[in-house]
Amino acid sequence: MTRPDVDVAIIGAGFAGLGAAIKLLQTGRTSLLVFERANEVGGTWRENTYPGCACDIPSHLYSFSFAPNPNWSRKFSPQAEILAYLKNCVEQYDLQPYIRYNTDIIRTEFLADQALWQLTDRAGNVLTARVVVGATGPLNRPSIPKLKGLDVFTGKTFHSSNWDHTVDLAGKRVAVIGTGASAIQIVPELAKTVSQLSVFQRTAPYITPRLNTSYSAFWQGIYRRFPAAQRAHRHVQYWLNELVGMAFLGNETISKVATAQSRKHLEASISDPDLRQKVTPDYKIGCKRVLVSDDYYPALNRPNVDLVTERIAELSPTGIVTRDGTERPVDLIIFSTGFVAADIICDLHITGLEGRSLFDEWLKTGPEAYMGMTAEGFPNLVFLVGPNTGLGHNSIVHMIESQVAYLLDYLRLLDQAGENAYLNVKPDVQRVYNNDIQEQLNGTVWSSGCQSWYISQTGRNTTIWPGLTVTYRKLTRRVKPEAYEARRAINYEAADKITG
């Protein structure tokens, strides 16, 4: 029988990969490796270092339930603190020996004759695993618009997730393209330093007050001494977010309250009628991610900040030209244009049964998986934060923990199936599940007609979970054995002889 080099190979060391590794170790599954292409853990929180970067789900909720941190400094803690938290988890749970840094997995191929995955990294090293966990992240492939003239612009450009800290911003004329979650954190910070800031907006976001209170030493002490108090605080935040989520799922009353709150915030912050009109969203709240900020609108009021709603025509060597013919000279362009999320295009090649290529298939059909985790034809492969498991209203860490519980149950089922077995989700089960998902999306705000990064090239929403997270948790509590077909390695005997 062919023995794998490692039982479980996890690709990615962000919240998802680390959460999975911790739980696997805690349940005695020590044959595991985490492959990370960078030289440190953290994923999103390693890559995004722009000024003002912070979470927009409260920290006590945007962290593992099993690793509470009583010391969060603020309701929405800054990037450095979240990265430190993840690094601390690595130390606290002794993960370091299991992580292989600077290891970019470029190919994984399922060897059906041995029921093993063969992983290849960029340096050409090869390793086999019984199960692969894809924790490569939803938001780390920058989406940069193909603007005419990008090659002739002589100033500096970079994406918000790839901040160039060597650039001195003081006194510069800067353009921020985009007004999404990152931009509204960046703009208030830049406005304080640069001489002129032009913010290019395609669609106005809904913004609600952030109320980013700091936790006093008193409260941190309470949470340290009384973990139940911290848990209660987390629960309140969780259920408040679930309540808001109901607005996106079709509850008109909550939707109206949320819209009114956002409008009130806008009107209290901006008095210029022209600017007010420009920042007033013209679609239903929640169709695009609702943002939280107290300082974005005030930043737009500053004399050195200009909100541009005219579409960009092209870049000139020294600036940005809009369709009305106006040229704005700029020294630096920051693309705060988000990520390619819906198409899950990855530079990792995944080959499953009969030589099928997962991402080629997903490009044609739009990404889909059963429970957002397992895909037919690609056995013993479990995705974390896969298709239709993203959120518009609550902490993704809650979804990750649901998925990790499912992964553990999946491994239990696989063990029961015997050695050299693999579990392939049944095609009709996957189809019915995904038809249901698309049907459920029909009744939600995400199908109300706005243009958003949730929609894939195929026109389908392949990113959002169309329900409450509590529903997903219930659904993923146990693996349904009848959803999977258990098979044995095709060449079981032969494989046995090869390895002796």
- Alpha carbon dihedral 29, 32, 37, 39, in 10-degree steps, equals 80
Closer CB to ligand FAD, residue 34 or residue 270?
34
**Burial (CB count <10 Å: 0-12, 13-18, 19+), residue 416:** exposed
Task: Give yes or no for a contact between 164 and 179, defined as CB atoms under 8 angstroms apart.
Answer: no
| Residue 415: CB minimum distance to ligand FAD, A | 25
Q: Can residue 136 be called a binding residue for ligand FAD (CB under 6 A)?
A: yes
Closer CB to ligand FAD, residue 319 or residue 338?
338
Tell which positions 248-287 bind ligand FAD, by CB under 6 A: none
Closer CB to ligand FAD, residue 155 or residue 367?
367
Q: Can residue 35 be called a binding residue for ligand FAD (CB under 6 A)?
A: yes
Stretch that binds ligand FAD, among 36-44, 170-178, 278-286, 310-318 (CB under 6 A): 36-44
CA 13, 227, 88 angle in degrees (round to 5)?
A: 25
| Residue 87: CB minimum distance to ligand FAD, A | 12
CA 271, 275, 276 angle in degrees (round to 5)?
A: 60
Residue with tokens 């109901």: 246
Stretch that binds ligand FAD, among 31-39, 167-175, 225-233, 477-485 (CB under 6 A): 31-39
CA 460/CA 413 separation, integer angstroms: 32
Contacts of 477 (CB under 8 A, 6+ apart): 402, 405, 406, 409
Q: Can residue 396 be called a binding residue for ligand FAD (CB under 6 A)?
A: yes
**Between 336 and 365, how does the x/- string for binding to ligand FAD read (CB under 6 A)?**
------------x-----------------
Which one among 6, 8, 10, 16 touches ligand FAD, defined by CB under 6 A? 16
Number of residues near ligand FAD (by CB under 6 A): 33
Neighbours of 132 (CB within 10 A): 24
Task: Give yes or no for a contact between 397 and 19, defined as CB atoms under 8 angstroms apart.
Answer: yes
| Residue 164: CB minimum distance to ligand FAD, A | 16
For β-strands 105-111 and 349-351, DSSP reports them as: parallel
Which one among 8, 9, 10, 11 touches ligand FAD, defined by CB under 6 A? 11
DSSP string, 481-494: GGGEEEEE-TTHHH
Closer CB to ligand FAD, residue 108 or residue 440?
108
Closer CB to ligand FAD, residue 238 or residue 297?
238
CA–CA distance from 270 to each of 208, 289, 485 (Å)?
14, 21, 59
Stretch that binds ligand FAD, among 54-62, 149-157, 425-433, 460-468 (CB under 6 A): 54-62
Structure tokens at 314: 């092209």
Tell which positions 65-104 bind ligand FAD, by CB under 6 A: 104
> Which spans of this chain sit near ligand FAD (rule: CB under 6 A)?
11-17, 35-38, 43-44, 48, 53, 55-57, 62, 104-105, 135-140, 182, 348, 384-385, 395-396
